[in-house]
Amino acid sequence: MTKADIIDAIAAEAELSKRAAGEIVELVLGEIKAALQKGERVALTPFGSFVVRQRKAREGRNPKTGATIKIPARRVPAFIAGKSLKEAVTGRNGGAAHTSARKRRT
């Protein structure tokens, strides 16, 4: 699914023009980006959260020459899926069967 597909779906569902739906999507994405730039966590309960993680500096290799290079520390965006998203993808509904199976083993 692309951003255009999301805009089309929102426009149809909310009975908005594609232009208005596109502006809403752009505003939401802009707010998420701005919060992450500030280092803030963006929680979209129960969908998931966007966070900024710090990667440590490390050594790497130039694949062409094999020479060792220093890769500097940097901040990277990450997404942590929420419970309902995980359940929707895995097909589980609440994890009751999974929890009871775990209890039987102990």
Confidence of residue 2 (pLDDT cuts 50, 70, 90): very high
pLDDT at residue 19 in the model: 97
Q: How far is CA 34 from CA 21, 27, 68, 101, in A?
A: 20, 10, 35, 43
pLDDT of 95 above 60: no
> What is the per-residue pLDDT across 22-46, written as a single tens digit (0 to 9) for each?
999 999 999 999 999 999 999 999 9
Q: Which domains does the chain have, with CATH numbers?
A: 3-105 (4.10.520.10)
> What is the per-residue pLDDT across 36-94, written as a single tens digit (0 to 9) for each?
999 999 999 999 999 999 999 999 999 999 999 999 999 999 999 999 999 999 987 75
Q: For residues 41 and 33, what is the distance between their CA atoms, to the nearest angstrom?
A: 10
Is pTM, for the whole model, over 0.95?
Answer: no
Identify whether the C-beta of residue 32 lies closer than 8 Å to the C-beta of residue 38: no
Longest CA–CA separation in the chain, Å: 57
Identify whether the C-beta of residue 34 lies closer than 8 Å to the C-beta of residue 22: no
Identify whether the C-beta of residue 6 lies closer than 8 Å to the C-beta of residue 29: no
